[in-house]
Structure 1
Amino acid sequence: MDAVTEPLQELVAHARDTRVVVIGGGIAGLVAAWECAKVGMAVTVVEASTRLGGVIGTAEASGLRLDVGATCWSTRGGAVRRLVDEVLPDAVIVRPRDDSAWIAGLPKGAAAPLPPETFLGIPANPWDEGVRRIIGWGGTWRAYLDRLRPPLTIGSERSLGRLVAGRMGPTVRDRLVAPLSVDRFGLDPDDVDVEVVAPALNPALTRTGSLGGAVAELVADAPGPSVEGLDGGMPQLIAALHARLADRAAVVHTGARATGLVRDGKRWTVVLASAPEGVGTEVPVVERAERDETPVPTADSEPFPAELTADAVIVATDEDTARALLRSAVDDPAFASTEPAGIAREVVTLVVDAPALDGAPRGAHVHAVPGSGTATGLVHETARWEWLARDAGPGRHVLRVAFGAPGAQPATAGLDDTAAFTMAAREASTLLGVPVERIVAAHRDRFTLVPPASATGQRERATTARAAVAKAHGLAAVGAWLAGSGLAQVVADAQTEADRMRRGALWGEDPHA
């Protein structure tokens, strides 16, 4: 045996003897579990709900398999694409056939396409006819004053809303910027940190002398937003990750809620209990469309122990649950807060017969001016994805209507299903400018919309929490509440944190020592 082979064999044996428990079976938890399992670690995943996938799920409705959570990913960084190539190499990766957006809820019930030369909704040229249709002549003249005002000192204004209102006026903020930030991220534009969402914006403003000039420069240099999805839906990725974990003899328990996390010498103890009835389920739907549970095989329903002992633990739950577990495991004021960030949101997915929508009259996205209606916006999924339109057939469409803005509960929160679906159809009719009356099936999801990394203070909150977790050997925390919203951020972050924990467990605190 040579001097190289023997240390490698010892490392392989050490990996096999290292037990890892991942608390949470959403996308972050499954990715972190896979990062550990693929190097030979003994992995156990515990998930409180009855299914895996978290924000990625599917429901059967009227013969269609619908994505009811995340439907795609940003290509930025390439992390999700590499993951798909690794665990699902035969997947058919697609891009939207239409990703255009409209703004609805303008005066007199008008709607207009979002002009292409905008950045975060900020127009490069307020005199553009498409911009004027949205902000009117008064808004256009006010926005033009941006060109006549002196540039701001770099870094003097970090609030996106206040920057836009100060330079171009409140109408640009309220009719162009706010519809996007509220609908997509649940954020008032005043709460968006410019230095995080667009670090190049303030320097460009100083160089060009105006906010419009800065946007023109950034638009010219930007490759444009790009997203990808899977032909057939995103739950294929969850099924693939689960299959890969099974291939590596990882154990997955569903219906198992972690109630405690305790450090005992060099090991961790995870205390488990059966999840209360109803955890992880959703509200019933028209036509009894049911969430598809197929990514979780029946073997996962076997009894689980009251406690699991591990050399390392990865907490991959929602923020509220994570803070409770970490508070019991790490003595640090970073976890003293029990108030998770984010807003309550409901999304109603409608399957409708509406031939008038075959031509996608208002593109794939319609964002509502805040306060103009009860919905924040909608996504016309069959306009966006060719595979879904193919499966649905002519005249049948899938719409996802979102409710829930900052500082308020979703308008559907207190309604029963019938009333919620009726409200969603009414809002869809208004947003699309086409009557939406023949509902074939509907699905309702409730969740907390996690703030993106660009939310004011979010980066600092995540950094503080991460620093506290890093003090404990063999512990990591992943998920959108730390990485920011979006699959690209969540997947890349889960891989990075799993690698940090993995190296620490296999090589000690400093793997290079």
Structure 2
Amino acid sequence: MSDLPGTDSSADEIRRAVEAPPTRVVVIGGGMAGLVAARDCARPGFAVTLLEASDAFGGSVASLDVGGITVDAGAESFATRGGHVAALIDELGLTEDVVRPNPAGAWVRYGSRTVPLPKAGLLGIPSSPLATDVVAAIGWGGALRAYLDRLMPVLTIGKEKRLGVLVRKRMGQKVLDRLVAPVATGVYSAQPDDLDVDVVAPGLNTALTRHGSLSGAVGELRANAKAGSAVGGIAGGMWRLPAALADAIAEHGGVLRTGAQVVAVEPWTPQEPAEEAEATQAIGATDAVAATVDAVTASAPDPTADLPARWTVRLASGEELPADVVILAAPASASLGLMATASPDLAPLAALDWPPASSVELVTLILTDERLAAAPRGTGVLVSDAESSDVRAKAMTHSTAKWAWLAEAAGPGRHVVRLSYGRAGKTSETADLDDDALRAIAVADAATLLDIPLTESEVDAFARTRWTNALPYAALGEGERIARVRDAAAEVEGLEVTGSWLTGTGLASVIPDARSSAERARGLRWKALTENL
């Protein structure tokens, strides 16, 4: 036995730390951010409950059964930058199923003209303005105007924050309208003039100053990027990723609940004995018998149910859940509302000048037409928002031309084509249309974009899916609002906030932020167990 002072008390503290009940973590929002955070908290043994208001997990990474094929209803790929998505996929045992898209690439349409999207570009900004594919897209006049970028004075460089203004000033209106706008709006759901250059293209302004031209800056950023495809997918569909996450959470003892709408997250207060007595007396004879039966037949009582907590999570059903840590992974409006219930210091955040969330409607068509086997428009078409446009869709993806696994699943002669409707800042053109009307528009748009006459007789199946996108993360001023949210939330111990409205859309942005929130939540456990040692 040791004679060192304090040894016995230290041993008692360590024993209590080891034997302490698991930390209760309630994750609100079962999209990708919530699933990732919940899984990372469940792995080390935390008592995790994941609450999702809708009837399915995964958010916009979801499956759709149409025409006897299971396809992605939302996100169909992931950005490979940073390696964050690949690392998670590997942990879940899906690495062997990672696939790359057809390198043929997409086309772009302006007015009634469709051409291949120039290869050597960044967000549609060409690195070589006089390249053959650039000239084909914007004509010699547009290409020569873009080349003037290399002759502009250095002193005017690196000052512009708005992507649209920068491109227009340096390379001209044709590059902006015909190349940059279709790509930028497709990725960020916002007009180029509203996008922050430093957010959508980090390092571009610095490289521009260094090279003296926008095209030179694009060339540098492309040269510094890792070789290989910028995007990847999962054979069978990206929806397999949230499904694997949900399975992993359950395997580690986590509880997953759909249809669970949370109305408040409030600081926990112990129930007074008098209140407990009143609650007991309020139970009628029948309820008392039922409660007794439940108590006898319950497989295992929750050992943490009566322990002090940091939070009380209130559901619309009236149910209350105790939580030591709450991770908010819901959309912006829901998260901001719940933050206000958690602390009065967070209430003003909801009143900030948040831009409206955009919405998009995806139409999936299963077509039977041998002419599509030639992939006449590569992997798809991005459509410029021009007054002369003869289609309503903002983009079309020839999914079976893009993904070999999907072509195999569809079978010979069958093709999956997906069209996207809804532009940032504009009223939805499809929200009030019934299925027959939208189907007719989609078939006509697909025929125009593919340059193949199609009729509804070639349509084997049709489906529509509406998504409300996250706030335009890359819009000017959004960074300051997000910083205020993060700074304020950091002052409230035991409350974490994550999600695409804070990180920007795309799994490469969402996943690392969600994992960081889970890491901070786990850190609170260590802090609580060691602060008295």
- Range into which the TM-score falls when normalised by the shorter chain: 0.7 to 0.9
> Separation in 2 of the partners of 1:511 and 1:350?
59
The residue that corresponds to 1:441 in the other structure is 461
The residue that corresponds to 1:255 in the other structure is 259
> Separation in 1 of the partners of 2:222 and 2:242?
35
Question: Secondary structure at the residue paired with 1:256?
Answer: coil
Highest CA radius of gyration, 1 or 2? 2
In the alignment, which of 70, 73, 90 is matched to residue 68 of structure 1?
73
Q: Which amino acid aligns with 1:412?
A: T
> Separation in 2 of the partners of 1:179 and 1:512?
58
Question: Secondary structure at the residue paired with 2:339?
Answer: helix
> Separation in 2 of the partners of 1:471 and 1:458?
21
Contact preservation (8 Å) 2:268, 2:322: no
The residue that corresponds to 2:447 in the other structure is 429
Higher mean Cα deviation, 69-78 or 171-180?
Answer: 69-78
In the alignment, which of 355, 358, 371 is matched to residue 370 of structure 2?
355
Deviation at 1:267, TM superposition (A): 1.6
- Kindly indicate which of the two structures has a greater share of residues assigned to helix: 2
1:334 aligns with 2:377: no
Aligned in 2, Cα 1:13/1:209: closer, same or farther, shift over 3 Å? Answer: same
The residue that corresponds to 1:325 in the other structure is 338
> Separation in 2 of the partners of 1:66 and 1:511?
50
The residue that corresponds to 2:293 in the other structure is none
Number of equivalences: 480
1:393 aligns with 2:417: no
- Kindly, what percent of the aligned residue pairs are identical? 44
The residue that corresponds to 2:278 in the other structure is none
Aligned in 2, Cα 1:82/1:9: closer, same or farther, shift over 3 Å? Answer: farther
Question: Secondary structure at the residue paired with 2:394?
Answer: strand
> Separation in 1 of the partners of 2:26 and 2:233?
30
Deviation at 1:230, TM superposition (A): 1.3
The residue that corresponds to 1:419 in the other structure is 437
Q: Which amino acid aligns with 2:367?
A: V
Question: Secondary structure at the residue paired with 2:103?
Answer: coil
1:48 aligns with 2:82: no
Q: Which amino acid aligns with 1:58?
A: S
Deviation at 1:451, TM superposition (A): 4.5
The residue that corresponds to 1:294 in the other structure is none
Contact preservation (8 Å) 1:153, 1:206: no
> Separation in 1 of the partners of 2:267 and 2:104?
48
1:138 aligns with 2:141: yes
Contact preservation (8 Å) 1:504, 1:511: no
1:313 aligns with 2:315: no
Deviation at 1:129, TM superposition (A): 2.1
Higher mean Cα deviation, 396-405 or 429-438?
Answer: 429-438
The residue that corresponds to 1:151 in the other structure is 154
Alignment deviations for residues 441-470 of structure 1 (CA, whole Å, 9 cap, x no partner): 122111222246433222222221111111
> Separation in 2 of the partners of 1:8 and 1:92?
44
> Separation in 2 of the partners of 1:5 and 1:73?
49
The residue that corresponds to 1:245 in the other structure is 249
Contact preservation (8 Å) 2:86, 2:95: no
> Separation in 2 of the partners of 1:410 and 1:325?
29
The residue that corresponds to 1:102 in the other structure is 107
Alignment deviations for residues 165-196 of structure 1 (CA, whole Å, 9 cap, x no partner): 00111111111100101122211111121112
Alignment deviations for residues 97-139 of structure 1 (CA, whole Å, 9 cap, x no partner): 3360111134xx2211011111111112222221122212321
1:236 aligns with 2:240: yes
The residue that corresponds to 1:407 in the other structure is 425
Question: Secondary structure at the residue paired with 1:187?
Answer: coil
Pairing 1:117-132 to 2, within 5 Å after superposition = 117-132=120-135
Aligned in 2, Cα 1:76/1:167: closer, same or farther, shift over 3 Å? Answer: same
Question: Secondary structure at the residue paired with 1:358?
Answer: helix
Deviation at 1:354, TM superposition (A): 2.2
Contact preservation (8 Å) 1:151, 1:205: no
- Kindly indicate which of the two structures has a greater share of residues assigned to strand: 1
> Separation in 1 of the partners of 2:326 and 2:349?
19
Q: Unpaired runs of 5+ in structure 1?
A: 275-304
1:273 aligns with 2:316: yes
Aligned in 2, Cα 1:375/1:63: closer, same or farther, shift over 3 Å? Answer: same
In the alignment, which of 490, 493, 499 is matched to residue 473 of structure 1?
493
Aligned in 2, Cα 1:21/1:147: closer, same or farther, shift over 3 Å? Answer: same
Contact preservation (8 Å) 2:355, 2:472: no
> Separation in 1 of the partners of 2:105 and 2:527?
49
> Separation in 1 of the partners of 2:400 and 2:13?
55
Q: Which amino acid aligns with 2:242?
A: I
> Separation in 2 of the partners of 1:125 and 1:90?
36
The residue that corresponds to 2:218 in the other structure is 215
1:507 aligns with 2:522: no
Higher mean Cα deviation, 132-141 or 368-377?
Answer: 132-141
Aligned in 2, Cα 1:196/1:420: closer, same or farther, shift over 3 Å? Answer: same
Contact preservation (8 Å) 2:13, 2:532: no
1:183 aligns with 2:186: yes
> Separation in 1 of the partners of 2:108 and 2:17?
57
Higher mean Cα deviation, 379-388 or 129-138?
Answer: 129-138
Q: Which amino acid aligns with 2:252?
A: R
Q: Unpaired runs of 5+ in structure 2?
A: 270-308
The residue that corresponds to 1:84 in the other structure is 89
Q: Which amino acid aligns with 2:380?
A: H
Question: Secondary structure at the residue paired with 2:261?
Answer: strand
Contact preservation (8 Å) 2:190, 2:425: no
Alignment deviations for residues 464-488 of structure 1 (CA, whole Å, 9 cap, x no partner): 1111111111111111001110011
Q: Which amino acid aligns with 1:61?
A: V
Question: Secondary structure at the residue paired with 1:17?
Answer: coil
TM-score normalised over the length of structure 2: 0.84
> Separation in 2 of the partners of 1:234 and 1:309?
34
Aligned in 2, Cα 1:494/1:375: closer, same or farther, shift over 3 Å? Answer: same
> Separation in 2 of the partners of 1:506 and 1:39?
12
Question: Secondary structure at the residue paired with 1:158?
Answer: coil
Question: Secondary structure at the residue paired with 2:395?
Answer: strand
